Each structure stands twice: as structure tokens, then as C-alpha cells.
């Protein structure tokens, strides 16, 4: 990697990891207290009601991808006049997006909540109350997206880290305040989360307008630019719809066939997964702008090198965090939570293994999206993702155990990995043979060396002894296999230099 880019990535990654360690600690404590304060039933209700809103967030996520791609692309080319137009048009698009979600939420979503979800009748009034605050909160989140994109595209990860930490602290304060709730705790919690969103919205706008000239909003409308972005965004919409159906749609199927107790287990799985994902995603967040900018500049050799490094580092980070947890999941969840919902342990184990595997191709998606040629990629990927919902419905309707759901998810993702490799080869000329030799094979050997002994130890120890014995053994084997096999000489030298310079 060019030294300046390497230093920037390293510096940004360190800021994000500093933020991650603190926010993870806060998030783990917050999740534990929310479950304890609300109880399993109300926790499940909160999870399933929020899922209804998230179903409509496919519009938000797709517009976020559009904004990020074009804003970072223009920034990489150094076209600041175009950059200002891109930002202003993005604000307009996000205003319309918020209005669309508000309308969908108050019509289709409201009807679905009250007629199709399995919520105890005595809690329907509370469910509708928190639903209204959830709609307003997600609209606010939509409007702040262009400002967050501006911060990450400019690679101001220090500010993003501080903002995320503020968000975590405010949510912790909201949880602590539940002990003094003057009204129904579920309602009170939804009000507090809404206020947190308002504070963060003001923070992002204030910072951007003080530091980036292009973020001073002026009404702008250009039909050609709009059509270009909508053409790109439409395929993102397709991808987001199927992605959300694979997570929140399946969550609703679990509610319809199994009830809110299983939703609580699914919610714990989601929180554990999100917390661990953050650590791998911090590196990817730091490197994604460089991937888009390198493609915009036509520096394909650097792009390929960056992709190989990204896959290795993101996988190794995820693998390092996942294995000790998977081997000790039952003990860790009981240590963390006062009450562990049924199925939560197996849900969490399978989901973390799936996410670690997914790191083998996730960085490739940034390069694919950077090209803007995503039509066929999104169509094919969406077909596979939609199979999660279809197969989950079939299995649950045939009275299969809820445990079948994460197994379906991981099986489909294995097939999607092949799709990502194919399109990376097609769109950015990535050599699959080089990928397997330089990346996959090295990582596979490191995995095979690292896990057999810790697994053996886990079967012959328990509780604290198992936690320390398996983790210690795994960390030692992981470091040795990663340093001498997973990483090549240049990557080892690069890491040492980055540690020294940062």
C-alpha cells in the first residue's frame, strides 16, 4: 500500500477500535439491563415492533449506498463543484425518502402490526405507542445519512468514533433511567431513544456545516443526476429489500410461528452479532473510502492489493473474536444476561460462524459497488438472499425447530460467496486463482491450526476454566498461525511499520 494511505487507514482504524472497545462494553451492559428491566416478553415485543419499521428501511439503506458511492467517487476525483451538487441532491432525496417511509409506516406497517403479529392483547397499546416513536426516529436517522457519509468519505473517523461513543453513552443513560420510569417502561424507553436520535442528528449537522463547505444545504434539482442515482439506487433497493427480509422478515416469521420468546432469542443473537461485527467493520469502514477512491482514479493494481489485505485482516479480526465466544457461548451468555432466552445460545453460535465466513468476500462488495455496474450483481444476489425468507417459511410451517433458521442462513451465504468472487473478477478483473492462493489458502491453513486443540479443551473443561483455557490456547495458536502463515512477509512488515508510525 502507498505509505500515506496506509497511515491514514491505520490511524482511522485505531480511532474506530478505540471507540469500539468502549461502545461494545456499553452495548453489552445496555442489552443486559434492557432485558432485565423490560423482561423477556416486553423485550421480545420491542424487538418485533422495531422489526416492522426496519422492514421499510430498505429505502434508507439503498439511498445511503447511493450517497456514499457518488459522494466518495466525486471526492476521489477531486471534483468539488460536483461534490456540492451531489450532497445537495442527496439531502433532497433523503427528505423524500423519509416522507415515503413515514407514509408506508403509517399505512402498511400500522396495519401489519395490529393484524398479523403475535403480541399479547394487553400489550398492544404499548406496542402501538413505541411503534409511533420508532417511525419518527427512523425518519430522523434517514435525514442524517448524508452528513455521516460526508464524515466517513473525508475519512474523519476520529469524529465518527466520538459521535458513536456519544450515542452509546446516551443510550446507556436511557437504560439507567428506566429504573426511574414515571410511566410504562416500554413506552418510556421508546421516548428516550427518540431523544437520543434527535441529539445525534443535531451533532452531525453542526459538525459538517462547520468543517465541510459542500454540506451547507441549498435546494438543488438536476433531472439527469437524479436519474443516474436512481438507476444505481433502484438495484440497491432490490438488494436491501431482500437483505432485510432475510433478517427482519424471518424475525416476523419466528413471531408468527413461535411467539415473542423466540423473538427475544433472535434479538439477543442480533445484538451479539452486531457487537462483534463492529470490530471487523471498523477496519472495513476505514478502508472502504480508499477502495472507492482508488477505482475512481483508475489505480486497479492498488485496488487489488487493498482488497486482498482487507479480506485477510477483516477475516482474522472476526475469527479472533468469534472462536473464544463460540466455544464458551453458553457460559458467556449466562454471565452477561440475568435470563438467557431459549435458543439464544445456538442462534448466537451459528450466526457468529456465518459472519466470520462472510468476511472472506465482504470487502469485494465495496469494489463491485464502486464500479456502479451493479444491476446483474444485485439481481442474482437478491435471488439467493430471498431464499432465506422462503425456506424459513417452508421449514417453520412444517413445524421444524427454530434452530433450522440460522442453518438456512449460513448455507445460503456460502453460495453467495461464489457470486461475489465471480463479479469481482468480472467488474474489477480480480484474479480468483490469486485470491485462493494468496488469501483463502493461507487463511484456511491458519484456521485448521488454530481451532482443533481449543475445541478439544472445551469438551473437557467448563465455566471459567474453559473460558480461560480455550481462549488462551486459541490466542497463542492464532497469533502464530496468522503471523507466519496467514500473512505474507510484506503484510507482516506493513503491520510492524504501522504500529511504529501510529
As a whole number of Å, the CA-based R_g of the chain is: 23
What's the grid cell of residue 136? 419518527
The pTM (predicted TM-score) of the whole model is 0.68
The string of DSSP letters for 434-495 reads HHIIIIIHHHHHHHHHHSHHHHHHHHH--HHHHHHHHHHHHHHHHHHHIIIIIS-HHHHHHH
What's the grid cell of residue 260? 415473542
Distance CA 367, CA 379 (A): 17
Cβ atoms of 52 and 193 closer than 8 Å: no
Distance CA 251, CA 266 (A): 7
The neighbour count for residue 461, using CB atoms within 10 Å, is: 16
**pLDDT computed for residue 345 by the predictor:** 87
Beta strands in 236-295 (DSSP E): none
**pLDDT computed for residue 197 by the predictor:** 86
Q: Which residues contact 66 (CB under 8 A, 6 or more apart)?
A: 90, 93, 229, 232, 233, 236
Torsion sign (Cα): 300, 301, 307, 310: negative
- Residue 124 three-state SS: helix
- On the 0-12 / 13-18 / 19+ scale of CB atoms within 10 A, 183 is exposed
What's the grid cell of residue 92? 433532497
Distance CA 63, CA 443 (A): 35
**pLDDT computed for residue 20 by the predictor:** 61
**pLDDT computed for residue 401 by the predictor:** 83
What tens-digit pLDDT sequence spans the chain (502 residues)?
455 555 555 555 565 556 666 666 676 677 677 776 677 677 777 666 666 666 565 666 666 667 776 777 667 666 677 777 878 888 888 888 888 888 887 887 777 777 766 676 777 777 788 788 888 888 888 888 888 888 877 777 777 777 877 888 888 888 788 777 777 777 888 888 888 889 989 998 888 888 887 777 777 676 666 666 666 666 666 666 777 677 777 877 887 787 777 877 887 887 777 777 666 666 676 777 778 778 877 778 888 888 888 888 888 888 888 888 888 888 888 887 767 778 888 888 888 888 888 888 888 888 888 887 878 888 888 888 888 888 988 988 888 888 888 888 889 889 999 999 999 998 888 888 999 888 889 999 999 999 999 989 888 888 888 888 898 899 899 888 888 887 777 767 766 655 555 5
375 half-sphere exposure, CB direction, 13 A CA radius: 5
End-to-end CA distance of the chain: 16
337: left (phi over 0), alpha (psi -120 to 50) or beta: beta
Q: Which residues contact 411 (CB under 8 A, 6 or more apart)?
A: none
**pLDDT computed for residue 421 by the predictor:** 92
Distance CA 389, CA 379 (A): 16
What's the grid cell of residue 380? 442474482
**pLDDT computed for residue 1 by the predictor:** 46
The alpha carbon of 460 is separated from its chain's Cα centroid by a whole number of angstroms, namely: 35
Residues in the chain: 502
Distances (CA, A) of 43 to 20, 185, 298, 326: 24, 11, 49, 24
155: left (phi over 0), alpha (psi -120 to 50) or beta: left
Cβ atoms of 386 and 245 closer than 8 Å: yes
List helix spans (H) across 328-440.
329-336, 344-358, 362-371, 375-397, 404-428, 432-435
Amino acid at each position: 500500500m502507498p505509505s500515506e494511505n496506509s497511515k491514514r487507514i491505520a490511524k482511522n482504524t485505531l480511532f474506530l477500535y478505540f471507540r469500539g472497545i468502549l461502545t461494545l462494553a456499553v452495548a453489552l451492559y445496555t442489552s443486559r439491563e434492557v432485558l432485565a428491566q423490560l423482561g423477556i416478553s416486553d423485550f421480545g415485543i420491542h424487538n418485533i415492533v422495531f422489526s416492522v419499521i426496519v422492514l421499510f428501511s430498505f429505502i434508507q439503506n439503498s439511498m445511503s449506498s447511493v450517497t456514499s458511492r457518488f459522494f466518495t467517487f466525486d471526492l476521489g476525483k477531486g471534483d468539488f463543484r460536483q461534490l456540492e451538487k451531489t450532497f445537495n441532491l442527496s439531502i433532497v432525496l433523503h427528505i423524500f425518502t423519509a416522507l415515503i417511509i413515514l407514509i408506508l409506516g403509517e399505512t402498511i406497517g400500522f396495519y401489519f402490526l395490529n393484524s398479523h403479529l403475535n403480541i399479547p392483547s394487553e400489550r398492544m397499546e404499548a406496542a402501538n405507542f413505541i411503534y409511533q416513536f420508532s417511525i419518527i426516529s427512523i425518519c430522523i436517522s434517514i435525514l442524517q445519512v448524508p452528513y455521516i457519509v460526508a464524515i466517513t468519505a473525508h475519512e474523519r473517523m476520529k469524529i465518527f468514533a466520538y459521535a458513536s461513543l456519544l450515542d452509546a453513552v446516551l443510550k446507556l443513560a436511557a437504560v439507567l433511567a428506566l429504573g426511574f420510569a414515571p410511566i410504562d417502561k416500554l413506552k418510556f424507553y421508546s421516548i428516550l431513544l427518540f431523544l437520543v436520535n434527535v441529539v445525534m442528528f443535531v451533532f452531525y449537522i453542526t459538525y459538517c456545516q462547520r468543517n465541510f463547505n459542500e454540506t451547507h444545504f441549498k435546494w438543488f434539482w438536476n433531472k439527469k443526476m437524479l436519474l443516474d442515482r436512481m438507476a444505481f439506487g433502484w438495484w440497491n433497493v432490490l438488494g436491501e429489500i431482500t437483505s432485510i427480509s432475510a433478517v427482519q422478515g424471518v424475525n416476523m416469521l419466528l413471531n408468527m410461528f413461535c411467539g415473542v420468546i423466540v423473538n427475544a432469542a433472535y434479538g439477543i443473537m442480533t445484538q451479539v452479532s452486531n457487537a462483534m461485527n463492529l470490530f471487523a467493520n471498523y477496519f472495513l469502514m476505514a478502508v472502504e473510502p480508499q477502495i472507492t477512491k482508488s477505482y475512481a482514479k483508475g489505480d486497479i493494481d492498488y485496488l487489488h492489493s487493498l482488497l486482498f489485505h482487507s479480506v485477510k485482516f477483516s477475516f482474522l479480526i472476526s475469527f479472533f473474536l468469534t472462536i473464544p465466544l463460540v466455544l464458551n457461548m453458553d457460559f458467556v451468555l449466562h454471565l452477561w444476561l440475568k435470563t438467557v432466552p431459549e435458543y439464544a445460545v445456538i442462534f448466537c453460535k451459528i450466526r457468529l460462524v456465518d459472519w466470520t465466513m462472510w468476511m472472506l468476500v465482504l470487502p469485494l462488495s465495496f469494489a463491485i459497488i464502486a464500479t456502479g455496474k451493479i444491476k446483474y450483481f444485485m439481481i442474482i444476489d437478491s435471488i439467493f438472499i430471498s431464499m432465506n425468507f422462503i425456506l424459513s417459511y417452508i421449514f417453520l410451517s412444517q413445524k421444524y425447530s427454530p434452530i433450522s433458521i440460522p442453518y438456512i442462513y449460513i448455507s445460503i451465504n456460502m453460495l453467495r460467496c461464489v457470486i461475489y468472487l465471480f463479479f469481482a473478477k468480472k467488474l474489477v478483473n480480480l484474479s480468483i486463482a490469486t485470491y485462493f492462493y494468496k488469501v483463502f489458502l493461507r487463511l484456511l491453513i491458519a484456521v485448521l491450526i488454530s481451532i482443533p486443540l481449543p475445541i478439544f479443551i472445551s469438551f473437557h473443561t467448563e465455566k471459567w476454566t474453559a473460558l480461560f483455557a480455550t481462549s488462551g490456547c486459541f490466542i497463542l495458536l492464532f497469533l502464530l498461525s496468522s503471523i507466519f502463515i496467514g500473512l505474507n512477509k510484506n503484510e507482516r512488515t506493513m503491520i510492524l511499520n504501522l504500529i511504529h508510525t501510529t
